Amino acid sequence: MRFDLHLHTTLSDGRVTPEALVFKAAARGLDLLAVTDHDTTAGVAAAQAEGEAWGVRVVTGVELSVDLPLGDDTLSIHLICLGFDLDDADLQALLARIRAARGAAARETLERLSLAGYAAALPAHLLETSDRTLCRPHLADALVRAGHARSRNDAFDRFLASDTYRTPYALPTAEEAIRIVHRAGGLAVWAHPPPGEIDRGAPVLTDLGLDGLEVFRASFRSSPASLYAEEVARHHGLLVGGGSDAHGLTIGEFALTDELASPLLRRLTR
């Protein structure tokens, strides 16, 4: 079995629709995938319907933005949450809370940029529904369209990585998020754990009920970082997972196999 448990669509900062994502995955021979948009599950149902047409199983997923207190500082991390009840009220309320905070921060960032002489506007379709997540790449694209930056990377380097314009927003704690995901019947996996923080974060998250680590990724498969993440996961008794984190047309170029992550796959398909 070939599968990918970290994929994005146009419902957050991806470049393909949920339907196109599943079609592309089917064409590349994937058997199972998870749509894991940032802080929204709005694309999951459409992806599941498309998956039925093409013989691809689509499990529920979302990439949750959370804060992890670590001593005197706080680490902002992402959790890939999988296999939960899509209609769980507490989980959906949590996601709506994060999206609202993200949206308010994005609008304030645009206001700060405008006051500094860098006016930019978001497309209307991004503002049409509260189910869609506003992300910083959307702001970067707006700056490019307005002629203030040459590319997304340029927009981040010149504007969005700076505290002068970037607006912080409140996030739920990892403890709250993991508890709600578990109550909804799902699993929580630490997404792309930073190599410099994995030793501090893994034991704390394990104590909070973390289920797994994202070990295999397109950016560092079989690299020292990947091998060390796998060692950390085994040490703490965590499931080993992974995915491409694809946002565009590279869907299907990376895939896990059941031999690499069979315990996690069994939990999801049980």
Determine contact, residues 12/133, Cβ cutoff 8 Å. Answer: yes
- Mark whether 139 and 196 lie in a shared domain: no
The pTM assigned to this predicted structure is 0.93
Phi, psi angles (nearest 5°) of residue 73: -130, 175
Q: Is residue 165 part of a domain?
A: no
Question: Which residue range is the domain that position 33 belongs to?
Answer: 2-94+170-269
Name the average pLDDT for the chain: 92
Same domain, residue pair 59 and 142: no
Give CA separation, 82 vs 128, 137, 184, 236, in Å. Answer: 27, 24, 10, 20
pLDDT at 132 over 90: no
Q: How far apart are CA 175 and CA 187, in angstroms?
A: 13
What is the structure's pLDDT at 207? 98
Task: Mark whether 71 and 147 lie in a shared domain.
Answer: no
Q: What pLDDT digit, counting tens, does each position of 184-232 carry?
A: 999 999 999 988 899 999 999 999 999 999 998 876 555 788 889 999 9
| Calculated CA dihedral for residues 101, 61, 136, 214, nearest 10 degrees | 120
Lowest mean pLDDT among 20-34, 45-59, 120-134, 201-215: 120-134
**Lowest-confidence range among 141-150, 175-184, 211-220?**
211-220
Mean pLDDT of 83-111: 95
Number of domains the chain is built from: 2
> In the predicted model, is pLDDT for residue 24 greater than 90?
yes
Are residue 54 and residue 87 in the same domain, yes or no?
yes
Neighbours of 237 (CB within 10 A): 9
Q: What is the pLDDT of residue 221?
A: 55
CB neighbours of residue 220 within 10 Å: 17
Q: What was the pLDDT predicted at 220?
A: 57
Q: Could you tell me if 15 and 134 lie in one domain?
A: no
Task: Locate all alpha helices (DSSP H) within 116-214, ordered by sequence.
Answer: 136-145, 152-155, 174-183, 198-207
Whether residues 126 and 252 fall in one domain: no
CA distance 125 to 82: 27
In a domain, 60, yes or no: yes
Q: Within this chain, do residues 152 and 193 fall inside the same structural domain, yes or no? A: no
At how many degrees (to 10) do helices 174-183 and 89-115 cross?
140
